[in-house]
Structure 1
Amino acid sequence: MKNIRLTSSNPTLSIASLAVPILIGLLAAVGNPVLDTIMVARFSSTDLAALAVGASIYVSIFVPLAGMMSSLTPTFGHFYGAGNFREMRDTVKQGIWLALFIAAVGSTLLSFPGALLSLAKAPPELVEKATLYLRVLAFSLPASMCFFVYSTLNNAIARPKMVMAIQVSGLLLKIPLNIVFIFGWFGIPAFGGPGCAMATGLLAWFMLAAAIAILRLDSFYSFLHLFGSGFVWPRWHMLKELLKLGIPMGMNSFIEITSFTFMALFIARIGVDIVAGHQIVANISTVLYMLPLATANATSALVAQCLGAKRLPLARQIAFSGQRLAVCIAIVIAISSWFLRHQIIGAYTSNESIVTTALPLITFVCCYQFFFAFQITSGYILRAYKVVLAPTLLYFLTFWCVGLGGGYILAFDVFHLQPPARITGAGGFWFAYSISVVLQSMSLMTLLKTIQRRTEKKPLKRLKRPEENHCRIRPFCC
């Protein structure tokens, strides 16, 4: 197993060791918008509203693009497991081109957000601030997308601690930068909400510079010969292969995020307190999502390495171990969240009306955690097998058709159902979303078992140009 980075003979311990730094990095990334919201709220309500509108548009564009860049993770993992370092190096360079092309599309959308902002029907002052916020972020998008090349490379070879260190450092630097640009220090004018984007932009380029420095100075990466192999033009056949994986992955991310976005828009019609309660529970769900997501990322990386090394039974074993670990964590999360639900919601608000709305909704979050863990891990393991089109169709049928469509029917009582079938209001959306998670998890697990059986009966084609492993594999703690 010279190119399968297991820290223990127990796959579960290996997955857990890899998942912890990934989780810390994900929480650091989630912490950035939380800091923005807290600090802009102290500046003005107008800037906070502009931040809310601008951030929702930015996330709707950024997340699908980041999903497209995720195609690099299974590709790197397969090459690393096979010891095919020349192809791995070429994929890194083509990944940079992919990041630049994707960023060009995203930056164009962010630079001209008029059509998207018109949907909000916001006052001119708010639109002006949101426009500036998005245009500043347009300049940071190339750095953010290129950083994904570094982060996916490190996750694929089970070396995520340097990525974690950069992300945590970025979160710590965000605080002073936000103070400078939001409130205006050292002769710099107070930009309010758009100041968050300026801080984020500087951090994006800082993180990219740190990643490049590590790649150049750390001898671990010498086996790739990234800086001594010269300039490489785009190779369209390689970019096409990456996009075959990346576009469906981006669609998956888009469907997931818009299922929550549209849910909030529909619930907003019911009442202010109800949508506020929904938003609190949605935020709790997002934080809890990070735990199985980190486990799924770690499992997917190790499975991809096993597939590249033709260790198919080990790939199945690691996949099962990852699912089992994610489910055990989910059970603990669900039980803890249920018993601490009053305290958790109380940390967000003391408004009795909002608390009354949020408490029943958090019950749904606790109930679907078990299936949520299976859904996330199965989806990411399928990515390691490079199976992405079928999951995209399942995402559409479950999250949009069952979750959103069914939620709308229940929430607004379209068919005039009678109790106990009648679940109206925000509860209708959350009930339908829970059903969609159950259906999605069962479908993806069935698909995964089918793919595993087919793969083991007919092994994957051997990767081209396998090379001898000349790198010094360091301990996992590096």
Structure 2
Amino acid sequence: MHTTSPAAARGSLSELLALASPVILSRLGIMMMGLTDAIVVGHHSSAELGYHALGWAPTMVALTTGVGLLTGVQVLTAQRIGEGRPEDAGAVLRRGLVFAAAVGVVFGVVLWLGAAPVMHAIGLEPALADGAAAVARTFALSMPFYLIAIAVTFWLEALGKPGPAAALMWAANIVNLAANLWLVPGTSPFPVEGAVASAAATLIARAALVAAFAAYIAMWPAVRREYGLSAAAPGAPGWKPLIWIGGASAASLFVETSAFAGMNAVAGLIGGLEAAAWAVVFNVAAVVFMVPLGFASATAVLVGRGYGERSARAVRRSGMTGLAATGSVLVVIAAIVALLPETIVSAYTADPALAVLAVPAMTLSTLFFVVDGLQVVAANALRARDDVWLPTLTHTISYAAVMLPLGYALALPLGMGLIGLVWAVVIASVVSAGFLLTRFWWLSRRSLRAEAQTFKG
């Protein structure tokens, strides 16, 4: 009688959606803080929105690089579950929390000290540079809280328990919204308003999120028994694989986000209003990107479990299911955004001059939604099967060597403005997706052949 093993069944659409749905909600919750900040600040002042966008750019580089360094928490936990060793998962989290706190402090100090010199060095107007630097320094204070929360989120998702992380993230968003509405208008007792006040609201929300995660784990007695959170785990993965996997992901994200931060700087060189318009377009694209990012995390968990089970079929099926689901959803989202750009822009600003710039750029931006989503799913699937450095090389070529110089050339020397920036993102995303999809297909085919030969032998 033929039976289907758990590994062979790995990667079904129902399994993917059960994990991806709360993960997507969690990622949307992460991005919703930035969206809330941008909307509240944008309605307060277009100039302050420009400060916010430029201050967020170096912060985004630091945050996403830190998130990349923590990817090993998710991958190693998923692999331990796939290997049937859940008792080693707690040791992964313990190391991950220490790593997250250390990285958060270091990155926060660098951002605090380096924000103003960088803003002035890239040639921004002095008032614009000073305003953006003040925002970046305020964001720097919340860096350790954010990365600690991400480490716990990744761990829970790898355990197949993403729901609590999503719920707590959305609760933190309520805190963030309340703090924004209180601080941004400048009517609170504190001497802050505008973009700096919005960054302070984010600090309050992220600190509250860490406190909520600590309370949740403290009230979960089974975590110590089932996953060895407090127990010694001699067989658990050490620091080297945590840093090796995280380092590859961080390098990739650093290159990509640095390139996008450079695009923010190019928008600032065009003009203050163009910087605000690019902030609107990029913020919407970033919110949409949370959907494939959620699918990418879910796909990585399933691929990691299949890889831990040593099943080439499970790895391939998980990856291909994740890619197909992501592409299908993003086609629908791109169509909606393309049909309603004026409505979406109006949520950010009532300034007609800003809308004239943002609407056509947002319509064009829908061209890269699908390919950008597919490339991040493919990259996460590759890392989950221990192919950690090829995505880094691919992102370096696509975003540093192609997108940034092309964006500058199209926007300024060729005079295309924001439209030129968007075309550069489209082209870079196509290059990245082509590389990574080909790599995953080739490795899956090779692994299946090796598995078949082993079975015959």
Bucket of the pairwise TM-score, normalised by the shorter protein: 0.7 to 0.9
Q: How many angstroms does 1:16 deviate by?
A: 1.8
Note if contact 2:296-2:381 (Cα within 8 Å) is conserved in structure 1: yes
Match of 2:454 in 1: none
Q: Does 1:148 align with 2:140?
A: no
**Residues of 2 paired with 1:3 and 1:108: CA distance?**
50
Q: Match of 2:300?
A: 300
- Please show how residues 54-453 of structure 1 align to structure 2 within 5 Å: 54-113=55-114, 114-119=116-121, 123=126, 127=130, 130-131=133-134, 134-182=136-184, 188-192=189-193, 193-221=195-223, 222-229=225-232, 238-271=238-271, 274-349=274-349, 353-413=353-413, 424-453=416-445
Say which SS state the counterpart of residue 374 (structure 2) adopts: helix
| More deviation, 401-410/153-162 | 401-410
**Post-superposition shift, 1:125?**
11
Deviation at 1:276, TM superposition (A): 4.3
| Alignment partners' CA distance in 2, 1:52 and 1:431 | 20
Post-superposition offset of 1:9: 8.5
> Following TM superposition, by how much is the alpha carbon of 1:162 offset from its aligned partner in structure 2, in angstroms?
0.4
Moved more, 249-258 or 153-162: 249-258
Say if 1:92 and 1:274 are closer, same or farther in 2 by CA, change over 3 A: closer
**CA positional deviation for 1:48:** 5.5
Give CA deviations for 1:312-344 in whole Å, capped at 9, x if unaligned.
212211211111111111221222222333433
CA distance in 2, matches of 1:5, 1:143: 36
Q: Does structure 1 retain, via aligned residues, the 8 Å contact 2:10–2:306?
A: no
2:185 and 2:389 map into 1 onto residues whose CA distance is: 47
- Structure 1: gaps spanning 5 or more residues: 415-422, 460-478
Supply the AA of the counterpart residue of 2:383. R
1:236-294 deviation line (CA, Å, top 9, x unaligned) = x9223222111221122222223322223224444555544433322222222122221
Check the 8 A contact 2:42/2:348 in 1, yes or no. Answer: no
Q: How many residues align?
A: 444
Contact 1:3 1:82 in 2 (8 A): no
Q: 1:3–1:309: 8 Å Cα contact kept in structure 2?
A: no
Q: 1:121 to 1:195 in 2, by over 3 A?
A: same
Q: Give the Å deviation of 1:207.
A: 1.8
Letter of the aligned partner of 2:392 in structure 1?
T
Q: TM-score, normalised by structure 2?
A: 0.85
User: Aligned equivalents of 1:180 and 1:280: distance in 2?
Assistant: 23
Label 1:246 to 1:339 Cα distance change in 2 as closer, same or farther (>3 A): same
Q: Give the RMSD, CA atoms, in angstroms.
A: 3.4
Relative to 1, partners in 2 of residues 1:432 and 1:246: Cα closer, same or farther, differing over 3 Å? same
- The answer on whether the counterparts of 1:182 and 1:190 sit within 8 Å (CA) in structure 2 is no
Q: Write the deviation string for residues 75-114 of structure 1: whole angstroms up to 9, x where unpaired.
A: 1110111122343222222112211321231122133234
Stretches of structure 2 lacking an aligned partner (at least 5 in a row): 452-457
Distance verdict in 2 for CA 1:448–1:139, change over 3 Å:
same
C-alpha distance in 2 between matches for 1:199 and 1:350: 23
Give how far 1:373 is off.
Answer: 3.0
Name the amino acid aligned to 2:428.
S
Percentage of pairs with the same residue: 21
Query: In structure 2, what is the Cα distance between the partners aligned to 1:179 and 1:428?
Result: 35
C-alpha contact (below 8 Å) 1:297/1:380 kept by paired residues = yes
1:466 aligns with none
Query: Relative to structure 1, is the Cα distance of residues 442 and 87 closer, same or farther in structure 2, using a 3 angstrom cutoff?
Result: same
Which letter does structure 2 place at the counterpart of 1:92? L
Distance of aligned partners of 1:51 and 1:4 in 2 relative to their CA distance in 1, 3 Å threshold: farther
Q: Is the 8 A contact 1:270 1:425 kept in 2?
A: yes
Q: How far is 1:228 from its partner? A: 4.8
Change (3 A) 1:250 1:291: same
TM-superposed deviation, 1:363: 4.2
Instruction: Provide the rounded CA distance (Å) in 1 between the counterparts of 2:75 and 2:117.
Output: 36
* In 2: Cα distance, 1:266 partner to 1:126 partner: 14
Please report how far the alpha carbon of residue 296 of structure 1 lies from its aligned counterpart in structure 2 after TM superposition.
1.5
Aligned-residue offset at 1:166: 0.8
Relative distance call for 1:71 and 1:2 in structure 2 (3 A) is farther
Q: Flag the structure with higher helix content.
A: 2
Q: In structure 2, do the counterparts of structure 1 residues 375 and 267 end up closer, same or farther at CA, with 3 Å as the change threshold?
A: same
Q: Work out whether residues 86 and 226 of structure 2, in 8 Å CA contact, stay in contact via their aligned partners in 1.
A: yes
Q: Secondary structure at the match of 1:112?
A: helix
Distance (Å, rounded) in 2 between the aligned partners of 1:167 and 1:5: 31
Pick closer, same or farther for the CA change 1:394–1:207 going to 2, 3 Å.
same
Deviation sequence 1:115-137 (CA, Å, 0-9, x none): 33433656579838944x55554
User: Measured at CA, do residues 322 and 433 of structure 1 come closer, stay the same or move farther in structure 2, by a change above 3 Å?
Assistant: same
Listed one character per residue, the Cα deviations across residues 438-477 of structure 1 (whole Å, up to 9, x for unaligned) are 1211110111122223444557xxxxxxxxxxxxxxxxxx
**What is the CA–CA distance in structure 2 between the aligned matches of 1:76 and 1:223, rounded to whole Å?**
13
